Chain A
């Protein structure tokens, strides 16, 4: 080491030591950049699920076929089932047992669902509720399993774990093999109007009838895949279902005077419908403009007066569906019409009691038609032969059939616009579920948002196509601000299990629908978004997609890196808040040596006072800050002194080096008089008070107060 070098080193050490007294050794950090790729969060791609987000060459899926004899006991409000299940093991694995879902056990007398709710003494309570909560024995709506048998009628070993049942196989089921077994069961049907539920009956005391909407009613196989193994998480009542596809052969015995709608093709029309009804149904099958009444209100009113003791059997076959449901009553009016889906005729049906008319007669079937058309346009052609909307007075979806709310609310028996729009909205939503998750079959037990969020987004498009002035209530960015700006301890990321979120509607429906709306309208553009969304839908038709498959496909098919968007909107509870911290203003003047100097005007406001002789553009250095955690594009409207406005969008990547503040220079021939961020409320910015320069936006309350004064 030379002398000089030693000297330099000595000085370095000394200075280091001197500073070292006040500062620690600098610490490193991991990559916290908001644009860091999601690789560490997403599962590693494999031959079953590729890095592009598509199913891989080794993708497999189990298949489960059901043959069921169902008997509805209208007098005792019970349902009996005799079920043969054929389980096809298409996976590469050998299975020692099968898991079966017993959803109705959530309603068993010993259900643990009420036990996980904490409780406190109410302020006051109605007598009925008091009796129900503290005096009456709990309703027993659990499954009564009568037998679980091999095909030769020998007992098959099984273990019930609350809402799940393990079938212990006599010998391991190898890859490619199938296993058949039988379950016999019954249960007491719940009154869904008084006790809640996504299935049950509604009682009409006036005429003594019941409308049955029956679903989750039979022991159903769990999904087995390479993501969860067996998806056998308990059913607590909220997070819905994960189901395999299969073929259903179902015979349903009802009172002879019932009208019934169900999943699948009705095989014995001539046995169960009158000649008149058969004739009208034939007309409906070629009527594309208006619903055709197959059973009229007059006929239904006549039927509801009888209580036939005789029965009849409805025979159905449903191919490649993930579930089965039906609705039946003496009270049902029935109308139907045909829909043309790219040259294929699909039938739209509605079943409703007179209490729901004229609302259902006017709008139910038409809403079904709109849904099939719009959804087919943005995803894939509806592959089933029909879709039914039932006056079930809830909002719940099953393959080819759904149960919807809404009854006339006006004293004269008519209905208000609000009741009408709400009924249409829910009908579109529930029929839309035929696409997500009935066909694009995501796991609802784990990821509620994957079907509810995607469906709520396409629902918006269908509503706007039904009526361009449709009062869309969910999905616009400004509508989610109230939720996203709320108490953080009461908000969960979208990527949470449905059972664990606080505000279910906002978390699983509203926020993901808004996120997709923003992607389409603001981040990706309609063309790129629509192509990617359609690609995802078609890739995963009749398969089981996961969030990673969705995220990857949206990027793979559009060529846009969205990892930052998924990370912020789906994995965190961060909010958008972008503001203008400061604006500096300049004009240019010639300096020495052919240089140009920028002369700053340090007065308040945006107006630049430059001498009239100075020939120069106007320059503005704008400091944008970002109090919110989300990175989003900066959308700016510049208003000039001639009254014109120009909108400019700086992509989200502008925040890649500095997550808190960025500066940007704009130059112009005209003076800028006003700068506004996110002028059209596209980003769900939670605080608009910092969005303008000069500041002028008042909060909602002051704005209203000013309005009232004027």
Chain B
């Protein structure tokens, strides 16, 4: 029955004139790595969108990938992600470590990690990344825990979901 919910979230796209291309989508990949006792998270977002959001929220001018790129911008990215992304593992709130970011084409990748996790039965994700400034933003969450894949599409109205792996 879980999929019905997802189906709705995907099918709402056409009503937003998604014949195409300028779409507002981020991808958050969450993986529980048993051998490292860690939950590892890679997030990719469109560079222009995250730049607009941070410039507005923190009154800065990031100029990513240009010669004028704001130095030490990781401080802002970390603050932004901590503010917009919360995780509960097995119903307990967990803080993540911001490892860093890298650029690839028009995307920015963020690497986050939660250590000292020995066992995962559920992950509750609250993802409000880019939702404030982009009403059509959608945040796709893909997760892999104990070889079970679960995904959910979050958006302005539905930014929280609990994924179970039992």
Contacts and interface: CB of A to CB of B under 8 A. Distances in A.
| The 8 residue pairs across chains A and B that have the minimum distance between CB atoms | A395-B20, A122-B157, A238-B14, A418-B48, A118-B8, A196-B17, A487-B149, A701-B40
Nearest to A119: B8
Contact of A409 (B16, B52, B105): B52
A704 B111 contact: yes
A701 B106 contact: no
A192 B17 contact: yes
Contact of A429 (B20, B33, B150): B20
B21 A487 contact: no
Contact of A701 (B16, B21, B42): B42
Contacts of A704: 99-100, 102, 109, 111
A282 B113 CA distance: 63
A416 B99 CA distance: 28
Contacts, number: 123
B149 A117 contact: no
A421 interface: yes
A329 B105 CA distance: 36
A198 B106 contact: no
Interface string A404-424: 011001000000101101100
Interface in A667-710: 700-701, 704-705, 708
B165 interface: no
Contacts of B105: 471, 473
10 contacts: A116-B11, A126-B156, A198-B17, A396-B17, A418-B47, A471-B106, A502-B6, A700-B42, A701-B113, A708-B100
Contacts of B5: 118, 120
B77 interface: no
Contacts of A490: 3, 6, 10, 151
- What secondary structure prevails in chain B residues at the interface with A? mixed
B22 A395 contact: yes
A464 to B, nearest CB: 14
Given A119-B8, A418-B106, A237 B15 contact: yes
A425 interface: yes
Contacts of B156: 125-126, 129
A487 B151 contact: yes
A118 B7 contact: yes
A197 interface: yes
A118 B3 CA distance: 11
A504 interface: yes
Contact of B48 (A240, A416, A425): A416
A117 B11 contact: yes
B19 interface: yes
A117 B111 contact: no
B108 to A, nearest CB: 11
Contacts of A705: 99, 111, 113
A394 interface: yes
Nearest to A125: B157
A125 B158 CA distance: 9
A471 B105 CA distance: 6
A559 interface: no
A489 B8 contact: no
Interface in B1-45: 3-8, 10-23, 27, 29, 31, 33, 40, 42
Interface string B46-82: 1110001000000000000000000000000000000
B84 interface: no
B130 to A, nearest CB: 15
A383 interface: no
Interface in A461-513: 471, 473, 482, 486-490, 502-505
Contacts of B14: 236-238, 504
Given A124-B157, A482-B27, A486-B142, 11 more contacts: A118-B5, A120-B8, A123-B157, A237-B15, A394-B17, A395-B19, A430-B20, A471-B106, A488-B149, A701-B33, A708-B111
A46 interface: no
A460 interface: no
B117 interface: no
Nearest to B161: A123
Interface in A339-374: none
Interface string B77-105: 00000000000000000000001101001
A483 to B, nearest CB: 10
B160 interface: yes
A701 B27 contact: no
Interface centre among B12, B18, B135, B160 (most CB of A within 10 A): B18
B45 to A, nearest CB: 12
Given A487-B150, A708-B99, A504 B31 contact: no
Given A120-B158, A701-B31, A394 B99 contact: no
Interface centre among A196, A198, A489, A490 (most CB of B within 10 A): A490
Contact of B111 (A129, A237, A422, A701): A701
A504 B22 contact: no
A426 interface: yes
B22 A405 contact: yes
A422 B27 contact: no
Contacts of A473: 105-106
A396 B15 contact: no
Contacts of B151: 486-487, 490
Contact of A426 (B15, B20, B158): B20
A704 B159 CA distance: 28
Given A123-B158, A422-B22, A708-B100, A504 B13 contact: yes
Nearest to A394: B17
